[in-house]
Amino acid sequence: MAVKLRLMRMGKKKQPTYRVVAADSRSPRNGRFIEIIGTYEPRQDPSVIKIDNERAVHWLANGAQPTDRVEKLLKISGAWTEHTGEAFDATVPERAARKSKKQLEKEAEAAEAAASEVEDVTDEADTADDADAGDDAEAPDDTADAEDGDE
């Protein structure tokens, strides 16, 4: 019998919580299972992961294959490290704030306005530099005349 460590969906509609279970690979997702190893609540911020590491390591040692998601959960809980010895950084990156289309459009408009202001300022600075450079070009170069006279 091929045993898998996988998630079993629980909870209400649109509000999932999961059990981490050891189950026969041929049984359906929410069907018969052998043992409950832990729980996973992804809707909490940060998500809650409760896994019995001792039982998880037992099943891994006896040949149970975890799914991709369960493997990540085992790495976070530390059971995977106990089993394989692999080091894993369990820090969870912070979620980026979700923005609506209106917020994104406002930010884009603000960025364009800021860019146009920068262009206006640089254009004014360029015209001022050109005016200063023009004054220098019209002024005679006294050092060049002095050197010509010495020869």
Per-residue pLDDT tens over the stretch 86-130: 665 555 555 566 777 788 888 888 888 888 877 776 666 666 666
How is the chain split into domains, by residue range?
Answer: 3-84, 101-150
Q: Report the percentage of the chain scoring pLDDT > 90.
A: 22
**Rounded to whole angstroms, how far apart are CA atoms 102 and 133?**
46
Torsion region of 4: left, alpha or beta (phi above 0 gives left; psi -120 to 50 gives alpha) = beta
The pair of three-digit structure tokens given for residue 5, joined into one six-digit string: 């460590």
Per-residue pLDDT tens over the stretch 36-65: 999 999 998 888 999 998 999 999 888 889
- Topology of the domain comprising 3-84: S16 Ribosomal Protein; Chain: A; (3.30.1320)
* CB contact set of 117 (below 8 Å; sequence gap of 6+): none
The pair of three-digit structure tokens given for residue 59, joined into one six-digit string: 């099943």
* CB contact set of 26 (below 8 Å; sequence gap of 6+): 2
Q: What is the signed CA dihedral for 131, 132, 133, 138, rounded to 10 degrees?
A: 90
pTM of the predicted model, to two decimals?
0.55
